[in-house]
Amino acid sequence: MLTKENVLAALRDVKDPEINRSLVELNMIRDIHIEGTTVSLTVVLTISGCPLKAKIEDDVIAALRELGAEEVRLQFGAMTDEERAALSAQLRGGQAQNAAPGQAAPLNPILGEDSHTSFIAITSGKGGVGKSTVTVNLAVSLARLGYSVGIIDADIYGFSVPDMMNIDQRPTVIGQTILPVERHKVKVMSMGFFVEDNSPVIWRGPMLGKMLRNFFTEVHWGEELDFLLLDLPPGTGDMALDVHTMIPQSKEIIVTTPHPTASFVAARAGAMAKRTGHEILGVVENMAWYEAKDGSKEYVFGRGGGAKLAEILASELLAQIPLGQPENHPSEADYTPSIYKQESQIGQIYMDMAKQVAKKCETPTA
């Protein structure tokens, strides 16, 4: 027999996809009425235009039908401003609990001393070497290995991660809390979400640092991440300095092309990492060669830049990635213009690199 109690029990396993908490725990299930095998209820969404409303509806109906309901009648509402403010405070409440006695709370629990999140800054000496491409493909490859992964697109002036991952959804904002957008099981936060029509960002250094802090103080990453990748602007400017100051435990991957000038400039970014005590996980040589139809390799941008840079930095060459376009089609449900399929040649290179990175960070598998 269906009762209000076993309906609530069944729905405890149904989670809000963005917050990753039970709908019952979040008090989103209201007005339960049961008549025989028909269950009627209201689901109160965080915002009226919740982008994942359809998934919540499907999950609720599936859970109740498994319980024995033959008909499920759903209505949707939205939280009041007061309820959203209370939820925002609840989501942010863990920050104060993570502070040591007598110390100020960290910007976010994942920055605390007891955090198990591995921070990896992806950087380069100059633009146009494929740093963001490496970031998104490494993140997705780590997620494919079963890790919990996030990306902060910290390249404020040249943000490109949302476009590369084909994200057209805006983050959900609950009170003062922002929920990152998830794509390919990777949680993403980018300046691009807050800029209209690809407008230029005209900011000075202190404002850049404030935005990076906001990505930690105002973004709720949900369950603790195994990896948080930061796609940094090229060079050694203000944002790189802020990352070195704010996340002293961050590790770094330096991206270059085989061209001697690119690797020469990238050495500056590596030198900065070393001076600030950041561990360099390794070097990625992007656009290493072009494979012709007969299988021969054409070294369009020269040879040896990545290996030389790794030698200068006393590090290792993690991967050499050839030129190539992902074989993705816009008609595919999970289409992205820049992420390689796992079974492709380049996709396998990224998978091998992800395994190396995970081993170096010594993060246990999910």
Q: Do 230 and 311 fall within a single domain? A: yes
Indicate whether 96 belongs to any domain: no
Cα→Cα distances 354→142, 160, 250, Å:
6, 21, 17
Q: What is the pLDDT, as a whole number, of residue 235?
A: 66
Domain range enclosing 199: 109-361
Indicate whether 94 belongs to any domain: no
Say which amino acid occupies 193: F
Say which amino acid occupies 331: S
Q: Do 71 and 218 fall within a single domain? A: no
Interacting residues of 170 by C-beta distance below 8 A, sequence separation 6+: 51, 181, 193
Count: domains in the chain: 2
Indicate whether 104 belongs to any domain: no
Q: Do 337 and 293 fall within a single domain? A: yes
Provide the total of helices (H) and of strands (E) in the chain, helices listed first.
Answer: 11, 17
Q: Which helix (H) or strand (E) holds 330?
A: none
Burial grade of 119 (CB within 10 A; 0-12, 13-18, 19 or more): buried
Evaluate whether 290 touches 322 at the Cβ level (below 8 Å). yes
Q: Do 63 and 144 fall within a single domain? A: no
Q: What is the pLDDT, as a whole number, of residue 164?
A: 95
Indicate whether 88 belongs to any domain: no
Q: Do 149 and 205 fall within a single domain? A: yes
Cα-trace Rg, the chain: 23
Q: Do 130 and 29 fall within a single domain? A: no
Q: Do 210 and 249 fall within a single domain? A: yes
Q: Do 59 and 158 fall within a single domain? A: no
Q: What is the pLDDT, as a whole number, of residue 277?
A: 74
* CATH at 71: 3.30.300.130
Q: Which residues pair with 78 in a beta bridge?
A: 45
- Of the three residues 29, 63, 79, the one that is the final residue of a domain is 79
Looking up tokens 């269906």 gives 2
* CATH at 233: 3.40.50.300
Quick count: other Cβ atoms within 10 Å of Cβ 73? Answer: 13
Q: Do 14 and 142 fall within a single domain? A: no
Indicate whether 84 belongs to any domain: no
Q: Do 197 and 257 fall within a single domain? A: yes
Q: What is the pLDDT, as a whole number, of residue 100?
A: 44
Spans of the chain below 70 pLDDT: 93-108, 196-210, 235-242, 244, 363-366
Quick count: other Cβ atoms within 10 Å of Cβ 274? Answer: 14
Q: Do 52 and 138 fall within a single domain? A: no
Indicate whether 101 belongs to any domain: no
- Of the three residues 37, 60, 79, the one that is the final residue of a domain is 79
4-11 vs 53-67: helix crossing angle, rounded to 10:
130
Q: Do 268 and 320 fall within a single domain? A: yes
Q: What is the pLDDT, as a whole number, of residue 88?
A: 82
Q: What is the pLDDT, as a whole number, of residue 197?
A: 61
Indicate whether 99 belongs to any domain: no
Indicate whether 43 belongs to any domain: yes
Say which amino acid occupies 191: M
Q: What is the pLDDT, as a whole number, of residue 239?
A: 63
Quick count: other Cβ atoms within 10 Å of Cβ 197? Answer: 4
